[in-house]
């Protein structure tokens, strides 16, 4: 209570107990000199001064650091009323992220249908993005960008995997280009805020790809199960991996390494270090520069008055070492040798100029604390964390927060020990009595959960885990929890002629790429869990999809896409007059699911909505009942339709399509104004007065054109390709 009162009074909480210790002498690597060096290096890598001319020349500058000791990151920003430039950079000035925002650039996002084709040549945009990325590559780094514009029509986005010494890495790069002038507005590396030790091993391997492949094959644990197909109505046999452990074969010595075990051993080492054995350390910033990063160019870029003013404002700010020593000298904070300073982040109040520092400390839990967790602990790195915020000039405390370890969501459900034989017997007796039909078809099933009993349906001698009973018993023999997942309508494929386990393993090996690449390897550095890069062979999953097993009859791999496809592809466009427009839409992620467009088919309401929603960046599939409901929910949200107008199979007329298209766009209000339009169509008398605005705008924007007699034919039913042509014309405006 006393500490709270003193803090609330606006003075350091320890002031009443003892005088504040004098701050140690300033280190040579002070914040102002570090910020000056980083800013100068960034301005040598990026045309900041030229960009500032677009922000009316003079801009306010700010620089904050997230000083995590292992790989600090600086957040720099130049801002004015006209826009902002923001950069995340390393201690050496290496650019990890960049964002340009021009206030009057027109990059607004209308809530609704505002899709339009970018007014730029995609090849020229790619060249601009590639040139920008190449400028920011360090020694030994390279990237080959490609288009990634799934469902995006108002920006041009390019992505690529960062190569280290010509080999794949865990880092992807994303570059966004503004269509108007091909200016890069965003550049992001996946490792923008990663804490990875600097340095790369050489791109040399002491083992062969064939030897590594053999070792990785030995880790496969495949078992045949019935798996529900995408239609949700049938199930077929599939060899499924029993474990997703992360194995690699190190290039340096050809060893098979289980990275999950490496992590577990580090956790154990951290825990076993104990409070009496651990000791705090602070890490110098001298070794944080990445070996492949460009060197800082002293004097190469001139600093502006705004930049010099911000840098000068850091001259009397205490370093992480000074702040740490000050806090450890306060007994009431309890920061003895058991606590490790993990990171320090600085932030500046732009109005007052006050600099705050936030320090995060951590220690291992005591034996008593670990024991109290019981079986809630499942192999995580357990830490007690203390976060302290203070004035970085005066050392006045601003806030203190201590976080005791709490179980992760997956661990929080575990309340008791694994089920005993008596509890298992009681559970099976309960299931046999209460769910006899399902129980007769069940066999024991394990999915890596020792705290629940699971039983899956047995079909033709193989388990079908989608139909299962999950139960947990209390120590007194009563049911603690029960979950019944069961669908009797599933049709099962036959079990004859399936692959052997050996053949399935061969097919699995063929499904994966196993290139020599750089991978992240967990290490414990100065009591801080971090990572380093090692060169290794490993299973490399394809982007945008996950491995679902091997079809037990065909031997083909089964994949599940978890990201939107870059484009729609159709097999039935030959001879269609709208083919050019349909394929142009597909290239930007606008289209219909299923692989067939059926261009001459009558357009119904659900198909119209699916097409228009894809232009909004969403892709619901109306082929299932759940997908149809999702489709209409999205349509209501995007103002394409009112709930009362739901009629999935109803045919759509030309005027209905135009009313829906324009009614959900920025032209909606204008179309409703009466008495101001001159409708050019010869059959304007057949158009309702309330629709004249839609028809007139459709003509003026080039969305709809009259037939050979100049008629709109508002009440004629549309085909799918006619709708695609109108949408294409709308996006070409």
Q: What global pTM score does this model have? A: 0.73
Beta pairing class for 479-485 and 397-403: unpaired
User: Mind listing the pLDDT tens digit for each residue in 132-156?
Assistant: 999 999 989 999 998 766 545 567 8
Please, which pLDDT band fits residue 579 given cuts at 50, 70 and 90?
A: very high
Burial class (CB in 10 A: 0-12, 13-18, 19+), 461: exposed
Q: Is the pLDDT of residue 409 over 80?
A: no
The pLDDT, as a whole number, for residue 57 is 61
**DSSP element (H, E) containing 409:** helix 409-412
Q: Is the pLDDT of residue 412 over 70?
A: no
Please, which pLDDT band fits residue 589 given cuts at 50, 70 and 90?
A: confident
Please, which pLDDT band fits residue 14 given cuts at 50, 70 and 90?
A: very low
Tokens of 588: 């930007």
Question: Could you give the 3-state DSSP secondary structure of residue 171?
Answer: strand
Please report the sign of the dihedral spanned by the C-alpha atoms of residue 484, residue 488, residue 490, residue 494: positive
Please, which pLDDT band fits residue 309 given cuts at 50, 70 and 90?
A: confident
Segment 173-182 mean pLDDT: 88
How far apart CA 677 and CA 658 sit, in angstroms, is: 16
Q: Is the pLDDT of residue 285 over 60?
A: no
Of 449 and 547, more confident: 547
Segment 536-564 mean pLDDT: 81
Lowest mean pLDDT among 139-143, 410-414, 530-534: 410-414
Please, which pLDDT band fits residue 569 given cuts at 50, 70 and 90?
A: confident
The pLDDT, as a whole number, for residue 153 is 57
CA distances from 268 to 130, 263, 381, 483, 529 (A): 45, 9, 8, 34, 12
Lowest mean pLDDT among 27-41, 45-59, 254-268: 45-59
The pLDDT, as a whole number, for residue 678 is 86
Most confident of 183-187, 540-544, 635-639: 183-187
How far apart CA 229 and CA 236 sit, in angstroms, is: 7
User: What are the backbone angles phi and psi of residue 437, rounded to the nearest 5°?
Assistant: -65, -45
The pLDDT, as a whole number, for residue 293 is 41
Residue whose pair of structure tokens reads 């404002």 in the numeric block: 313
Q: Is the pLDDT of residue 296 over 60?
A: no
Please report the sign of the dihedral spanned by the C-alpha atoms of residue 684, residue 687, residue 693, residue 694: negative
Q: Is the pLDDT of residue 270 over 80?
A: no
Lowest mean pLDDT among 338-352, 537-551, 580-594, 606-620: 537-551
> What's the chain's average pLDDT?
83
Within 8 A by CB and 6+ apart from 596, the residues are 570, 571, 572
Segment 361-382 mean pLDDT: 74
Q: Is the pLDDT of residue 291 over 60?
A: no
DSSP character at residue 50? H
Q: Is the pLDDT of residue 286 over 70?
A: no
Segment 512-522 mean pLDDT: 91
The pLDDT, as a whole number, for residue 377 is 62
Residue whose pair of structure tokens reads 């800082």 in the numeric block: 296
Question: Could you give the 3-state DSSP secondary structure of residue 471?
Answer: strand
The pLDDT, as a whole number, for residue 545 is 73
CA gyration radius, the chain:
32
How far apart CA 185 and CA 46 sit, in angstroms, is: 12
């Amino acid at each position: 209570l006393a500490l709270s009162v003193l803090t609330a009074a606006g003075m350091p909480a320890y002031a009443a107990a003892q005088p504040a210790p004098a701050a140690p002498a300033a280190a040579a690597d002070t914040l102002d000199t570090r910020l000056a060096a980083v800013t100068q290096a960034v301005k040598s890598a990026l045309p900041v001064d030229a960009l500032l001319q677009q922000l009316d020349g003079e801009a306010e500058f700010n620089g904050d650091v997230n000083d995590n000791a292992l790989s600090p990151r600086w957040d720099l920003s130049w801002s004015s009323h006209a826009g902002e430039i923001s950069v995340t950079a390393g201690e050496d000035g290496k650019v990890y992220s960049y964002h340009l925002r021009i206030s009057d650039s027109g990059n607004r996002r209308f809530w609704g249908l505002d899709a339009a084709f970018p007014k730029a040549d995609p090849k020229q945009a790619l060249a601009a993005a590639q040139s920008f990325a190449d400028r920011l590559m360090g020694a030994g780094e390279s990237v080959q960008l490609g288009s990634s514009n799934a469902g995006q029509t108002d920006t041009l986005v390019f992505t690529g995997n960062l190569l280290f010494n010509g080999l794949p890495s865990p880092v992807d790069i994303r570059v966004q280009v503004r269509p108007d002038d091909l200016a890069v507005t965003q550049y992001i590396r996946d490792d923008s805020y990663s804490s990875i030790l600097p340095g790369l091993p050489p791109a040399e391997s002491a083992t062969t790809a064939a030897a590594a492949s053999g070792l990785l094959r030995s880790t496969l644990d495949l078992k045949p199960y019935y798996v529900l197909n995408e239609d949700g109505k049938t199930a077929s046999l599939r060899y499924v991996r029993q474990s997703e452990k992360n194995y690699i074969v190190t290039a340096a010595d050809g060893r098979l390494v289980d990275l999950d075990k490496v992590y577990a051993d580090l956790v154990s080492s951290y825990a076993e270090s104990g409070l009496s054995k651990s000791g705090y350390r602070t890490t110098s910033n001298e070794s944080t520069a990445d070996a492949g990063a460009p060197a800082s160019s002293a004097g190469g870029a001139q600093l502006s008055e705004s930049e010099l003013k911000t840098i000068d404002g850091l001259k009397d700010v205490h370093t992480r070492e000074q702040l740490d020593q000050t806090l450890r000298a306060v007994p009431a904070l309890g920061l003895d040798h058991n606590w490790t300073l993990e990171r320090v982040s600085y932030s500046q109040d732009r109005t007052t100029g006050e600099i705050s520092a936030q320090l995060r400390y951590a220690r291992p839990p005591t034996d008593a604390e670990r024991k109290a967790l019981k079986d809630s602990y499942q192999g995580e790195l357990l830490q007690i964390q203390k976060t302290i915020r203070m004035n970085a000039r005066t050392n006045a405390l601003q806030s203190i927060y201590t976080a005791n370890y709490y179980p992760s969501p997956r661990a929080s459900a575990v309340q008791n020990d694994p089920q005993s034989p008596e509890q298992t017997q009681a559970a099976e007796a309960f299931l046999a009595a209460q769910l006899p039909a399902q129980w007769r078809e069940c066999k024991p099933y394990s999915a890596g959960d020792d705290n629940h009993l699971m039983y899956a349906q047995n079909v033709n001698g193989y388990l079908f885990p989608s139909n299962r009973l999950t139960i947990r018993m209390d120590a007194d023999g009563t049911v603690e929890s029960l979950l019944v997942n069961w669908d009797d309508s599933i049709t099962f494929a036959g079990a004859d002629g399936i692959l052997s386990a050996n053949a399935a393993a061969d097919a699995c090996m063929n499904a994966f790429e196993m290139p020599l690449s750089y991978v992240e390897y967990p290490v414990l550095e100065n009591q801080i869990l971090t990572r380093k890069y090692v060169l290794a062979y490993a299973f490399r999953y394809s982007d945008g999809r996950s491995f679902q097993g091997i079809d037990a009859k065909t031997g083909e791999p089964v994949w599940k896409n978890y990201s939107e496809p870059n484009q729609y592809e159709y097999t039935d466009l030959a001879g269609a007059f709208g083919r050019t427009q349909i394929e142009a839409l597909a290239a930007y992620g606008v289209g219909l699911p299923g692989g067939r467009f059926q261009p001459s088919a009558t357009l119904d309401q659900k198909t119209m909505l699916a097409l228009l929603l894809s232009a909004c960046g969403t892709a619901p599939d109306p082929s299932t009942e759940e997908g149809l409901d999702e489709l209409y929910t999205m349509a209501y949200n995007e103002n394409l339709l009112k709930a009362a107008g739901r009629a999935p199979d109803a045919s759509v007329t030309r005027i209905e399509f135009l009313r829906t298209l324009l009614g959900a766009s920025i032209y909606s209000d204008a179309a409703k104004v009466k008495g101001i339009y001159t409708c050019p169509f010869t059959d304007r008398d057949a158009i309702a007065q309330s629709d004249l605005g839609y028809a007139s705008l459709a003509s003026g924007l080039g969305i709809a054109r009259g037939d050979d007699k100049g008629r709109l034919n508002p009440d004629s039913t549309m085909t799918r390709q006619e709708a695609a042509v109108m949408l294409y014309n709308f996006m070409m405006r």
